[in-house]
Chain A
């Protein structure tokens, strides 16, 4: 069976490209191997938080006009980037899990350490403006839960707000602690607990004495595993107060929700997703990809399509394979130029003041997102590269993760839809 478009990779870039192309009537298939890093990530959409010199960018959609020429954003027209983010917002709304935010404004959201980071689009449950509006901040943790310590978060928030607000913390008790010797309590366990009536009521009753309409409750992202705001809405209504979820260390539920939301939308659009499909090679003839080859159980199977999108992620996601002094994209055999001496790949300080070199490694593309050689020649004409395996950006330093992903995925998908065959 031949498809119009085959997407390799089922993470944020692959799913979003699939949604965009299938909305335009394309027959799309995704080949994915394992769940993506999206499922354990924050699910928030950073577009651009800091420029190359580390200055805060107040208006991200304007800020991306000024990136260096090798940056993925430099390959995308500004109105296309804007349209990409709007389309994401439309899809989220259509799936009843709307996101909030303004592409012209970076917002400061609290982290699980109690400091702040800039971001652009977030779930509604992360309305951090409330933090600046409300008089009282109550930081809520859960007894035994790892990676979110309410008193530490409160202490760090106090440093920022000084005497301007009353900031307190509270630890909620759950019946999960009795079985603590069996398994660590993660945000997922708390979410299971809150999804059941018993846990929900216990939580509500413990909170009740501490809240007023002028309180905002800061808590880890635990309000339900599915992409909706049912628990948040019920709590805000019943307690007549407000909540802000804080994304936590993996597994972070906000990423899991976003993954479910996009999979649901993609399936409604008729996108086929084949799981556990490990693409090992591609059949390329005269600079054109004819098919990609999936190997499983010792058997190989070819998948044909007119166009291909590579959305396999960077080094962490498994899309790029690093060796000693080498870096490679394994499916299309694209070698990425890197310093021979491994120690030159990175700044010795993990949280260095500048960008990390290794973070910027990736596949070089032209303005059509087609991979190119050093002298600018297209390697495979009907292949586009999107998301984390693109060269030229350090998402961690500049706070552009997921923004680059959505914007390049959108551009690739829309460009393909314009081609008349």
Chain B
């Protein structure tokens, strides 16, 4: 079992467009930049073993991929090299493993009675006792708190109406263990559109945090597990939906870039973002638009991992169908968190510097809430701007409630 190491870096014509788009490059001179660390050094890595700890600075936010006109998967080149690097070099902190394997933590905490209460309490005590710092987690970072009951558990208790139209929902760790209500809102919104939601408890973490942390082999194990389940469902004719843009990107794009898994070819085209799926319904005039009015003001932040999916901003198209709603686009670049990057002690400052423009824009805009599909984007926004951040599906759910 191995990861793909055969991406040809020579597609890069060294035009430097990615350098102008990289938020980490803008925030620190400690990073050599995507062009250099990605395709340029990949050429050298084919000849000599790598000794470049600079790779650690790449946050895998994918703005370089988004900017690249030549289709070079720059950030994936970085992730592959990072994985190789850590095979022969020590990790910077104990937090790396934990952040990359956050599913283990979620599973453990939600499986014991009152686990979440203690874990969340423990996190704040840990912060006060400088334990977080010792582990390599930034003191000022807002860490996700755990829910008392997982999404899977809540879902089982919910009585759905059965419809012939069904989709399989991949909740991802953040919705399952941290914010299960978003998953429940999704189920209710889909029910309003006469779609039954199927949940498969054999799904595991998509592996995105493992890739970013340099644990590619672990990610590959998860990818194989998930893809075999995707194949099972897509063979039956069902589509898969995700509500976390990082999970979505990982499943339909990064698996393809990183791993050779045969079944992937037939199933990745059936994976949709949950909002994209609804927007397609809207395009075909099949969306239930029986919304009550919503007179609040929102600012929408598009996660980087959504932008790179080539589906535009389906949430904006959908939300604007709600009467009286006011949604503006933040359009202020990366929030800086890039999954768990901003939680790390040595990256937190860079992460906040990257997000500064967005925080400023939110603070100066007179809005009630911020909207974003990505869980850690929302955390970062709340941490940086003080405004509450919500998944757009919850606004749709609210608009259906009468």
| A36-B29 contact, Cβ under 8 Å, with A183-B36, A274-B310 | no
| A276-B29 contact, Cβ under 8 Å, with A35-B17, A35-B20, A267-B331 | no
5 contacting pairs across A/B (C-beta < 8 A)? A34-B17, A34-B71, A36-B69, A39-B67, A318-B70
Q: Which residues of A contact B283 (CB under 8 A)?
A: 1
Q: Which residues of A contact B32 (CB under 8 A)?
A: 182-183
| A256-B307 contact, Cβ under 8 Å, with A276-B66, A298-B269, A318-B69 | no
A126 to chain B, nearest CB (A): 20
Q: Would you call A34 and B69 a contact (CB within 8 A)? A: yes
| A250-B15 contact, Cβ under 8 Å, with A183-B32, A183-B33, A297-B271 | yes
Among B310, B317, B331, which residue has its beta carbon within 8 angstroms of that of A296?
B310
Additional pairs, 14, CB under 8 Å, beyond known A1-B317, A188-B19: A35-B66, A182-B29, A182-B31, A182-B32, A183-B29, A183-B33, A250-B15, A251-B16, A251-B19, A267-B329, A274-B311, A275-B307, A276-B66, A297-B252
A312 to chain B, nearest CB (A): 10
| A39-B17 contact, Cβ under 8 Å, with A34-B67, A182-B54, A183-B29 | yes
Report if A55 contacts B (CB, 8 A): no
**A228 CA to B30 CA in the complex, in Å?**
28
**A267 CA to B69 CA in the complex, in Å?**
21
B159 to chain A, nearest CB (A): 33
**Chain B residue with the shortest CB-CB distance to A1:** B283
B245 to chain A, nearest CB (A): 13
Report if B175 contacts A (CB, 8 A): no
A28 to chain B, nearest CB (A): 13
Q: Which residues of B contact A267 (CB under 8 A)?
A: 329, 331
Q: Would you call B268 and A298 a contact (CB within 8 A)? A: yes
**A35 CA to B256 CA in the complex, in Å?**
23
Q: Would you call B69 and A297 a contact (CB within 8 A)? A: no
Report if B21 contacts A (CB, 8 A): yes
Report if B308 contacts A (CB, 8 A): yes
**A183 CA to B331 CA in the complex, in Å?**
28
**Chain A residue with the shortest CB-CB distance to B251:** A297
For B307-330 the 0/1 string (1 means CB < 8 A from A) is 111111000010000000000010
**A35 CA to B21 CA in the complex, in Å?**
9
Report if A192 contacts B (CB, 8 A): yes
**Chain A residue with the shortest CB-CB distance to B253:** A297
For A248-280 the 0/1 string (1 means CB < 8 A from B) is 001100001000000000010000101111100
For B31-71 the 0/1 string (1 means CB < 8 A from A) is 11100100000000000000000100000000001111111
A15 to chain B, nearest CB (A): 15
Report if A127 contacts B (CB, 8 A): no
Q: Would you call A275 and B66 a contact (CB within 8 A)? A: yes
Report if B26 contacts A (CB, 8 A): yes
Q: Which residues of B contact A275 (CB under 8 A)?
A: 66, 307-308, 310
Report if A37 contacts B (CB, 8 A): yes
Q: Which residues of B contact A192 (CB under 8 A)?
A: 26
For B262-277 the 0/1 string (1 means CB < 8 A from A) is 0001001101000000
Report if A353 contacts B (CB, 8 A): no
A-B pairs with the 10 shortest C-beta distances? A34-B69, A298-B269, A296-B310, A276-B310, A299-B269, A35-B67, A274-B312, A297-B252, A251-B16, A179-B29
**A275 CA to B309 CA in the complex, in Å?**
8
**Chain B residue with the shortest CB-CB distance to A176:** B29
Q: Which residues of A contact B317 (CB under 8 A)?
A: 1
| A179-B310 contact, Cβ under 8 Å, with A250-B15, A251-B19, A297-B253 | no
**A294 CA to B36 CA in the complex, in Å?**
30
**Residue among A256, A272, A297, A299 having the largest count of chain B Cβ atoms under 10 Å:** A297
Q: Would you call A183 and B312 a contact (CB within 8 A)? A: no
Q: Which residues of A contact B309 (CB under 8 A)?
A: 276, 296-297
Q: Would you call B17 and A179 a contact (CB within 8 A)? A: no
Report if A239 contacts B (CB, 8 A): no
Q: Which residues of A contact B256 (CB under 8 A)?
A: 297-298
Q: Which residues of A contact B271 (CB under 8 A)?
A: 297
Q: Which residues of A contact B311 (CB under 8 A)?
A: 274, 296
Q: Which residues of A contact B71 (CB under 8 A)?
A: 33-34, 278
**A73 CA to B67 CA in the complex, in Å?**
31
What range describes how many residues of A lie at the interface?
20 to 34
Q: Would you call B68 and A34 a contact (CB within 8 A)? A: yes
| A34-B70 contact, Cβ under 8 Å, with A274-B310, A276-B307, A296-B310 | yes
B309 to chain A, nearest CB (A): 7
Q: Which residues of A contact B331 (CB under 8 A)?
A: 267
Q: Which residues of A contact B329 (CB under 8 A)?
A: 267
Report if A189 contacts B (CB, 8 A): yes
**A33 CA to B17 CA in the complex, in Å?**
12
Q: Would you call A39 and B20 a contact (CB within 8 A)? A: yes
Report if A128 contacts B (CB, 8 A): no
List which A166-212 residues lie within 8 A (CB) of chain B. 176, 179, 182-183, 186, 188-189, 192
Q: Which residues of B contact A189 (CB under 8 A)?
A: 29
Report if A98 contacts B (CB, 8 A): no
A18 to chain B, nearest CB (A): 15
Q: Would you call A40 and B17 a contact (CB within 8 A)? A: yes
Q: Which residues of B contact A250 (CB under 8 A)?
A: 15-16
Q: Which residues of B contact A36 (CB under 8 A)?
A: 69
Q: Which residues of B contact A63 (CB under 8 A)?
A: none
B312 to chain A, nearest CB (A): 4
Q: Would you call A188 and B36 a contact (CB within 8 A)? A: no
**A88 CA to B283 CA in the complex, in Å?**
34
Report if A101 contacts B (CB, 8 A): no
Report if A330 contacts B (CB, 8 A): no
**Chain B residue with the shortest CB-CB distance to A180:** B29
**A33 CA to B15 CA in the complex, in Å?**
15
| A294-B310 contact, Cβ under 8 Å, with A35-B69, A276-B66 | yes
**Chain A residue with the shortest CB-CB distance to B19:** A251
Among B20, B65, B307, B310, which residue has its beta carbon within 8 angstroms of that of A188?
B20
Q: Which residues of B contact A296 (CB under 8 A)?
A: 309-311
**Chain B residue with the shortest CB-CB distance to A250:** B16
List which A289-335 residues lie within 8 A (CB) of chain B. 294, 296-299, 317-318
**A364 CA to B271 CA in the complex, in Å?**
41
**A251 CA to B30 CA in the complex, in Å?**
19
Q: Which residues of A contact B307 (CB under 8 A)?
A: 275-276
**Residue among A192, A267, A275 having the largest count of chain B Cβ atoms under 10 Å:** A275
**A251 CA to B271 CA in the complex, in Å?**
37
**A40 CA to B20 CA in the complex, in Å?**
8
For B61-99 the 0/1 string (1 means CB < 8 A from A) is 000011111110000000000000000000000000000
Q: Which residues of A contact B25 (CB under 8 A)?
A: 183, 188
**A276 CA to B253 CA in the complex, in Å?**
13
Q: Would you call B308 and A276 a contact (CB within 8 A)? A: yes
Q: Which residues of A contact B310 (CB under 8 A)?
A: 274-278, 294, 296-297
**A274 CA to B54 CA in the complex, in Å?**
32
**Chain B residue with the shortest CB-CB distance to A276:** B310
**Chain A residue with the shortest CB-CB distance to B69:** A34
A321 to chain B, nearest CB (A): 12
Q: Which residues of B contact A40 (CB under 8 A)?
A: 15-17, 20
A185 to chain B, nearest CB (A): 9
**Residue among B16, B31, B65, B268 having the largest count of chain A Cβ atoms under 10 Å:** B16
